[in-house]
Structure 1
Amino acid sequence: MGKERVDVLLVCQGLFDSREQAKRAVMAGEVLGKNSERLDKPGQKIDETTTFRLKGKKMPYVSRGGLKLAKALQVFEISVKDKIVLDIGSSTGGFTDVMLQNGAKLSYALDVGTNQLVWQLREDPRVVVMEQTNFRYSKLEDFTAGQPKFSSIDVSFISLQLIFPPLAEILPVDGQVVALIKPQFEAGKDKVGKHGIVKDPKVHRQVIQQVIGYANEAHFDVLNLDFSPIKGGQGNIEFLVHLKLSDRPGVVSNAVNIDQVLAMAKQELNTQE
């Protein structure tokens, strides 16, 4: 394994949204490395497999992104206990970590990139690492350790419209999904603002409606909707949608209230920077 700057690793592992935030935390003495050694130089190069701890803060998952799926499992009352699960867009492994901590039997950590999954998950016998894999072309037979019964989705630079159809061919009927809706990758370029941020609630509504349509077309029922408890890396409000695969064109539950979710997101997240 190679070495990398402390601030870069902190961002890559999902503990901070930007190198500037990571630098401030390091210089404030808030970042601990191997053997709880304090790291005070953002530019110091250390082992890429280093697991960090934030002083005074216990991060329950390997990345802050895990907080998103953790909320979804709780709010949507989803159990992954003893299930084989699929983490599409696994990155550093925050979602996989959440599912394993909630009793998942095994997780396929699938990502188009490489060398992003943190070492502790890469070495976990319950994790099947599927790097450099474009899910658009995945088939059921690719999942050799058993058919996944639940899937999480956290993808970037691609629309969920391209993810739902192949997933519908992999999960069993009644298989459940939590998908993270990222407006900046669903809206047209003309609706995405500076630095890739989507602020207009009207665009948020349009994006959610589009994604619901994509899900229904792929035979997924839309059971519920909520907002992510933290903003995305560029400061975007994101949304969580709960789906279940059907054997017919999908329908939308009465529990889905887009306007209410938008209002709650604005109220809860407007102080996040």
Structure 2
Amino acid sequence: MPKQRLDTLLVTLNLCSSRQQAQTLIRAGEVKVNQQTIDKPATEIDPNAKIELLAKPKFVSRGGEKLAKALELFQISVKDRICLDGGISTGGFTDCLLQAGAKQVYGVDVGYGQVAWSLRQDERVILKERTNFRYVTPESLYESNTPADLGVMDLSFISLTLVLHPLWDLLIHPKEVILLVKPQFEVGREKVGKNGVVRNSLDQAEAILNILQVAQNLGWSYGGLTWSPITGPAGNIEYLLWLKIADRSFFPTLNNIHEMTDTAFKQLNS
């Protein structure tokens, strides 16, 4: 049999549910081939080789670890809630929500065929693929079913400011939201450095504040902010922003947010 990429082979052998999950394991040094640790996902491997996993990720992709931090830090309960995952991709956020007790998750993605097989087979997951989130309506998504009251978003190549309005319309009270903020898609091109990385913590803070201001104009209040425990593929620092409905709520200044982004830079680049 011809050799295969190690990440692809792990999925073929049902050792991992997705290539992204496999790549996470491989890069972490958690995969041995014929008793030798392999840390490059593209390494060509004989399918008959002895493959050993030293550990298995908790979620189908790294996104689950990001969302899990926000749920724990902000003490958000998702038990028995109907949720909306904008930009479901492999399904890390959705997997995290289900493991935390979500009753149902609507997953929307512009792509097709990326969602982990285990989630595709889960009756609690309702997929809307080949669907641009900006143009989704409650009628087209939910039909006559109960809408979601908690939304999570992990989008690329688009500013979150462009999807907040449809997100508002798609959620019912309490309209809680956790956004994964990727500054490289929020700042101007002139602020994006080599390999698409935003290296200025003030630029990141300004991007977060801009999202917050748009959200506030729609009716959301600030709930909390933290940095993702895992950087993006190119090393970009990402942030988890919690929005909620509240009569009175602290609204951070640019300086408040900059303190957070500056701390994130020091923590993740140390």
Whether TM-score is above 0.5 comes out as yes
Distance in 2, Cα, partners of 1:24 & 1:74: 26
Q: Given residue 95 of structure 2, which amino acid in structure 1 is its aligned partner?
A: D
SS in 2 for 1:172: strand
Q: Partner letter of residue 116 of structure 1?
A: Q
Matched residue count: 250
Match of 1:258 in 2: 257
Distance 1:24 1:104 in 2: 30
**Identical columns (%):** 40
1:112 and 2:113 matched: no
Confirm or deny: 8 A CA contact 1:177 1:243 kept in the other structure.
Answer: yes
Q: 1:42 to 1:259 in 2, by over 3 A?
A: same
Normalising by structure 2, we get a TM-score of 0.82
CA distance in 2, matches of 1:86, 1:76: 18
CA contact (8 A) 1:186 1:207 kept: yes
Give the TM-score of the pair, scaled to structure 1: 0.81
- Alpha-carbon distance between aligned partners in 2 of 1:157 and 1:193, rounded to the nearest angstrom: 16
Distance (whole Å) between structure 1 residues aligned to residue 248 and residue 127 of structure 2: 33
Cα offset, 1:42, TM superposition? 3.0
SS at match of 2:79: coil
Following superposition, the deviation at residue 24 of structure 1 comes to: 10
Deviations 1:127-176 (A, max 9, x none): 11111110100111122342001010000000001110001111113210
Q: Which structure 1 residue ranges, 5 or more long, are not aligned? A: 32-39, 47-52
SS at match of 2:242: strand
Structure 2: state its 5+ residue gaps: none
1:1-273 equivalences in 2 (<5 Å): 5-7=5-7, 12-16=19-23, 21=27, 28-29=36-37, 42-43=43-44, 55-141=53-139, 142-144=141-143, 145-245=145-245, 253=250, 257-271=256-270
Contact map agreement 2:32 2:52 (CA 8 A) in 1 = no
Structure 1 residue 41 displacement after superposition:
7.8
Query: Which AA in structure 1 matches 2:224?
Result: N
- Residues 54-92 of structure 1 show CA distances to partners (whole Å, capped at 9, x for unaligned) of 822231111112111000000111111001101101100
Which residue identity is paired with 2:162?
L
Say whether the 8 Å CA contact 1:151–1:178 is kept in structure 2: yes
CA contact (8 A) 2:201 2:262 kept: no
